[in-house]
Amino acid sequence: MSTVSAAASKTASAHGARDHARAQQGAKADAMPVLPASSWPAPVEGVAAEDMVWAETVAGGNYTHKTLARGTELRLTDPTGDACAHVVLHSADRPWERLNVADTVKVLWNAYLGAGHLLLSDQGRVLASITQDTSGRHDALTGTSTLARNTERYGDGSPQSASPAGRELLKLAALKNGLAPRDVPPSVSFFQGVRIAGDGSTEFTGSAGAGVSVTLRAEQPLTVLVANVPHPLDPRPAYTCGHLEVLAYRAAPTAPGDALWDATPEGRRAFLNTAELLTARGIA
C-alpha cells in the first residue's frame, strides 16, 4: 500500500481522523506560532517570560496578524538576511484610522525609517514609534508586491501559490480582523532598503545582513498586519524570502518627558493629538 493510501485509510473515519489529528500534538515546524508566547526559547533580553504576548516565526511567502495593547513593543528580526516585513497598522477598535505612509514621510520630513521615526495615521496621530533599529534598510516609498506584478514576474501571485503577492496576503490578514480589501493602505517595509538617488531614481539597497532587528512601540491599541514576501524591487529572478521572527512583549507607551516625545515639533504635535484622543476615551 502506498504512503498516501495508507494515510488516507487512517483518516477514512471520524475516529481515525480524530486520532490522526491528535497525534500531531507537539509537532513543530520551522515557521509557526509558539503558544503560549512565554515559552519562546530565547526571549528578549530584560523581558520577563510572562510579559511575552506574541512569539512567532513567519515563513517567506506567508503572513501574520495580531491586536496589541497600547505600550506593547513589537520586535521584528531577520534571522537570515532575506526577510522583508511589509507592515500595516490600524487603530484596534477604530480601523478607519490607519497607517498613512505619505503623512509618515511628509509630516516628519524624512523618507527613511529608523530609530526615532514615528508611524503616523491619516489623522495626525502616532500609531507606533520605532524605538530600536540595527538594520537601517527599510522602505516607506514603494509599498508591497501586487497580484499583477507577481504573476508577470513569477508566473503567479495568488495567496495559495509558490509566489504570493504581499497585498494579497495583507488582504487575508485584514479579513481575519473584520476588515475589507479597501482597508489595506500602502505598507512600510522592513529589512530590504530603498534610497532615492540624486537624479530622482529609486535604488534598491537590499539587506543589511542576517540577525538585524527593528522594534516598534504601540502608542495606542493596534491591529498589526504583516506579510513576509520579497520586496517588489528585489532584482533576484527567483522568489526569495527568508523567515521572519516576530516577538511582542508588554512595555510602556511614550509619555511626556520622553526624548522621543519632544524630538521634533511635528512629532510632539502628533503625540499631543494621540494623548488627547486616548485621554478623552479613558485609555490614558
pLDDT score for 28? 59
Q: Considering the chain, what percentage of its residues have pLDDT values greater than 70?
A: 90
Q: In the predicted model, what is the mean pLDDT of the chain?
A: 93
pTM over 0.85, yes/no: yes
Domain positions in the chain are: 30-280
Stronger pLDDT, 44 or 158, i.e. the higher one: 158
Q: Provide the grid cell at 231.
A: 520586496
Read off the pLDDT of residues 155-182 as tens digits, 9 standing for 90 and up: 999 999 999 999 999 999 999 999 999 9
pLDDT score for 31? 75
Read off the pLDDT of residues 59-116 as tens digits, 9 standing for 90 and up: 999 999 999 999 999 999 999 999 999 999 999 999 999 999 999 999 999 999 999 9
- Assess whether pLDDT exceeds 80 at residue 23: no
- Assess whether pLDDT exceeds 70 at residue 185: yes
pLDDT score for 25? 57
pLDDT score for 19? 61
- Assess whether pLDDT exceeds 80 at residue 15: no
Beta strands in the chain (DSSP E): 52-58, 62-68, 73-78, 85-91, 118-120, 126-133, 138-139, 188-190, 193-196, 202-206, 212-218, 222-228, 244-249
DSSP string, 158-219: STTSSS--HHHHHHHHHHTTT--GGG--PPEEESSEEEE-TTS-EEEEE---TTEEEEEEES
The pLDDT-based confidence of 211 (bands split at 50, 70, 90) is very high
Average pLDDT over residues 182-192: 97
The pLDDT-based confidence of 17 (bands split at 50, 70, 90) is low
Read off the pLDDT of residues 196-210 as tens digits, 9 standing for 90 and up: 999 999 999 999 999
Containing 148, the helix (H) or strand (E) segment is helix 147-154
